[in-house]
Amino acid sequence: MRILIAIGVLRQKEAGAAGVVLNHAAELTKRGHTVDCWYLEDLLERPAKPKRFGALLFARSLSRLIRQEPGK
């Protein structure tokens, strides 16, 4: 199975949410799945201003990328 995990935090192994995503991806890969992980810096070039729009901009960028490559 091909799996995409997208999370609106910075990619830091020692951070809470990012570390959990990396661990989940590693375990899913061990079980034979193909896993892509996309983080905040993969989708947004610069932080959102004002910051409260960060999740909205992340979701919009994620949606746009998924729609550009529907077969992936």
Taking the domains of the chain in order of start, what are their residue ranges? Answer: 2-68
Encoded amino acid at 49, one letter: K
Asked if 62 and 48 count as a contact pair (C-beta separation under 8 A), the reply is: no
Specify the DSSP class assigned to residue 72.
-
DSSP 51: G
The pTM is what?
0.81
Q: Please name which of 33, 43, 40 lies closest in space to residue 17, comparing C-alpha atoms.
A: 40
Beta strands in the chain (DSSP E): 2-6, 34-38
Render each residue's pLDDT in the chain as its tens digit; 72 residues.
Answer: 999 999 988 888 777 899 999 999 999 999 999 999 999 888 888 877 888 888 999 999 999 999 998 877
Phi and psi torsions of 34, nearest 5°: -100, 120
